[in-house]
């Protein structure tokens, strides 16, 4: 697809690893527009059977890891005056279930951390949101569901649609809508929108400006107003379907 990727190995619970990973990405790619905090694992058993090390391992990855990356990447996003942070929480951060006390507590902490950061980072043009999935087929869940089909039925019965979710169904929440904008001066239009379209992610793809947004109608109106004020009327603007190549 022509998209450049950089892989950096890091332990999300270690401050030095997180700072080094952030700096490496900035060095190789120049900027960070989107941060997704998705590292995690789970241990299922009654609370009284948990060791302190097991409890700590869950909170080090989920809570400390999310905090460290939000802090490290948040600094560069504040300097850019734009960015999007997506923290992966869980429905267990909102409701209770047996045998997942440390995991549920960690996910609840992520939910509250997200709310606080959304308030703190908004003035810098940074959006902070969390996604709290229910039961989905994932690498972690698949093994358990194959070993215990009755668990899958239990999860399915809890969902109004009567089934476990497919990861593709959450892709739209992660990526948002792409607005494709055509302008006679796409490079200047990109620069103007990056400066003034706070809270959205703006990029130049060939001769077209792309705005990734969770609020396409509002973003389209704001883009038209901003570019018209800069003497850059829009030739066309339309939402396009995100693909893995975008």
Residue 105 burial by Cβ neighbours in a 10 Å radius (0-12, 13-18, 19+): middle
Is 45 tagged catalytic?
no
> What Å distances lie between residue 212 and 25, 68, 110, 208, 218, CA to CA?
21, 25, 24, 13, 12
Of 45, 98, 103, 171, the active-site residue reads: 103
Of 98, 107, 115, 153, the active-site residue reads: 107
Q: Give residues with Cβ within 8 angstroms of 182, minimum separation 6.
A: 207, 208, 209, 234, 235, 236, 237
Is 137 tagged catalytic?
no
d(CA 164, CA 184): 47
Tokens of 195: 């400066």
Closest to 92 (Cα-Cα) out of 16, 26, 40? 40
Helices and strands in the chain, H and E counts: 9, 7
d(CA 228, CA 222): 10
Judge whether 72 and 15 are in contact, CB under 8 Å. no
Helix 149-158 to helix 139-147 angle, to the nearest 10 degrees? 120
Active-site residues, by number, are 103, 107
């Amino acid at each position: 697809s022509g998209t450049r990727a950089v892989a950096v190995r890091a332990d999300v619970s270690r401050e030095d690893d997180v700072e080094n990973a952030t700096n490496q990405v900035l060095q190789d790619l120049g900027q960070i527009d989107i941060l997704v905090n998705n590292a995690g694992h789970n241990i299922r058993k009654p609370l009284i059977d948990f060791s302190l090390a097991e409890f700590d391992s869950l909170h080090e990855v989920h809570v400390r890891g999310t905090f460290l990356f939000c802090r490290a990447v948040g600094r560069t996003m504040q300097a850019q005056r734009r960015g999007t942070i997506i923290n992966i929480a869980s429905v267990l951060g909102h409701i209770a279930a047996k045998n997942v006390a440390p995991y549920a507590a960690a996910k609840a902490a992520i939910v509250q951390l997200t709310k606080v950061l959304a308030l703190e980072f908004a003035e810098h043009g940074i959006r902070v949101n969390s996604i709290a999935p229910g039961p989905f087929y994932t690498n972690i869940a698949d093994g358990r569901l194959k070993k215990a089909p009755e668990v899958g039925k239990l999860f399915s019965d809890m969902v109004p649609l009567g089934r476990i979710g497919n990861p593709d169904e959450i892709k739209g929440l992660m990526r948002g809508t792409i607005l494709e904008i055509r302008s006679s001066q796409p490079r200047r239009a990109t620069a103007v929108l990056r400066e003034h379209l706070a809270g959205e992610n703006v990029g130049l793809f060939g001769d077209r400006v792309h705005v990734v947004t969770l609020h396409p109608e509002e973003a389209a109106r704001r883009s038209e107003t901003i570019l018209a004020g800069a003497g850059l009327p829009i030739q066309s603007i339309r939402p396009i379907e995100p693909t893995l190549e975008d």
